[in-house]
Amino acid sequence: MQEETNWIPRSFQEAAKNLAKVAVERFVKPDRVVGLGSGPMAAAIIREMANFDRKETLECIPTSFQIKLEAQCSGLKLVDEDRMPEVDVVFDGADEVDAKFNMIKGGGGALLREKIVHSAAKQIVIAVESRKFVPTFSWPVPIETHPFAVHIVRKKLEDAGGRPKMRMLKEGYPYVTENGNFMLDTSFDFPPDIRKHEVELKSIAGVVEVGLFTRHADTYYKAQEDGSFDAIEL
């Protein structure tokens, strides 16, 4: 379930470089507060920010330890969450984007912090490979759950028609998020109203956050295998 990584399939690497240059030129301006989300395409944008001629004026908020290291290697200035209300733009990826531009995120485990940054950002920019644009969701929804509540949350998810599965490490231990929580990757037969579904899942006591993202991005970059990309504006 670890899809939101910084590894880009070879066939999409040229597209990642091309869209990263365009995204940085368009959205990165001096003195901006920038949210740094996850995913290989978002990581490519972060690496491109290293070439921004006034990068020392940027203040960046990473959403995971992995992205924090990426930003540090790119020479970007990192700031604390007290700058969150001032986020100008967030660059992020997704595990899937459906026909109505809802997203499933959380394959890399950072969905809570990503959703917080999304809620604060004035603009959202999503960059993903074309294969991740789908008519309807097929991925399980990552559901970050407090350890105390994992058994009751599992039961309530089953009652709601879900098929939850505890995310595990290859060593056989439960995956633990950077926030100290467990992840229940839950398959559903998705209803037509994804926003309502997101709210219903979030209302279960013990659920910390849900990997359904129904706030639409301002721009989606759709990377193609031939090195080109499409920009979708909403």
Q: Examine residue 4 and state whether it is found in any structural domain, yes or no.
A: no
Q: Are 189 and 80 contained in the same domain?
A: no
Total number of domains constituting the chain: 2
Q: Are residues 48 and 107 in the same domain?
A: yes
Q: Is 114 a catalytic residue?
A: yes
Give the domain CATH number at 117: 3.40.50.1360
Residues 146 and 102 in one domain: no
Q: What is the pLDDT of residue 9?
A: 81
Looking at residue 6, its pLDDT comes to: 55
Q: Which of 114, 129, 144, 209 is catalytic?
A: 114
> Is 1 part of a structural domain of the chain?
no
Quote the domain boundaries for residue 204. 141-211
CB 90 within 8 A of CB 35: yes
175 and 225 belong to one structural domain? no
The enclosing domain of 172 has a CATH number of 3.30.70.260
Residue 164 lies in a domain: yes
- Res 11: pLDDT: 87
Residues 129 and 225 in one domain: yes
Q: Are residues 181 and 225 both part of a single domain?
A: no
Same domain for 206 and 117, yes or no, is no
Q: What is the pLDDT along the chain (234 residues), one digit of tens a residue?
A: 545 555 788 889 999 999 999 999 999 999 999 999 988 888 999 999 999 999 999 999 999 999 999 999 999 999 999 999 999 999 999 999 999 999 999 999 999 999 999 999 999 999 999 999 999 999 999 999 999 999 999 999 999 999 999 999 999 999 999 999 999 999 999 888 999 999 999 999 999 999 999 999 999 999 999 999 999 998
Looking at the fold, whether 114 and 183 belong to one and the same domain comes out as: no
